[in-house]
Amino acid sequence: MPDRRQFLRLSAAALSAPITLAGPRAEARAPKLTPEQSARLQSANAYLTDLKSVQARFNQVDAQGNATSGTLWLKRPGKARFQYDPPADLLVVSDGANVIVNDRRLKTFDQYPLWATPLGLLLAKQVRLDKGVDITAVSETADGFTLTARDGRKQTDGSITLRFAAEPMALTGWTVTDAQGQRTQVAIGALRPVADPDPDLFVLRDPRPRHGKN
């Protein structure tokens, strides 16, 4: 079973917020990008800006090697749903302001500000990878490239590496690393446009009985 806090601090969905490395490395300045790297950054920025309502399958591997899978929905700006396949009994929803994690097996219901999670980077109303985010690496891969980012405001811990295919341009997953170096990897399948996703997908109410009420 994936740890709910680890998902928010290390994974996706998240598409999780601009993220910063803790400790002395947090003060290190981001390297100057080459023209080729800047072009990759701009293409990723344009792609994410154009990403609206989509659905896909995802596979997640946490820092302990535990593998889970499920279905995700993204509706920019602000909204997402990660529905894990059984036997995992975990549901993660972003309602536009908060990321809510409901572990039905443990009967827990936790909320976090969207900006404080890795999902904030992908779900921002205006994606600006050139502002408020330190891009620490742009690397070529066999079929595309990766971008590694941290929070330029130094408000959150860790870093996120987004993976893109180049032809055609597509987000294929991400890896989130926390301040202790623990990594969670998420691979996503083809993102399929969804013209009008059900609004209820992005609403999650606390199912637990309230104290003092019958």
| Exposure letters 104-117 (e unless 16+ CB within 10 A, then b) | eeeeebeebebbbb
Tokens of 3: 């740890």
Q: Tell me which residue has tokens 């987004």.
A: 162
Question: Per the domain annotation, does 104 fall within a domain?
Answer: yes
| DSSP-based three-state secondary structure for 201 | helix
Rounded Cα distance between 175 and 1, Å, is 18
Sequential pLDDT tens for the chain (214 residues):
344 444 443 443 333 333 333 333 334 456 788 999 999 999 998 999 888 899 999 999 888 888 889 999 999 888 999 999 988 888 899 998 888 888 888 888 888 888 777 777 788 887 777 776 788 899 999 999 999 987 665 555 677 899 999 889 999 999 888 777 778 889 999 999 998 889 999 998 877 666 445 4
Rounded Cα distance between 4 and 90, Å, is 8
Domain span including residue 193 = 4-21+36-199
Question: Per the domain annotation, does 212 fall within a domain?
Answer: no
Question: Per the domain annotation, does 208 fall within a domain?
Answer: no
Q: Where residue 160 sits, what CATH number does that domain have?
A: 2.50.20.10
Q: What is the residue type of 65?
A: G
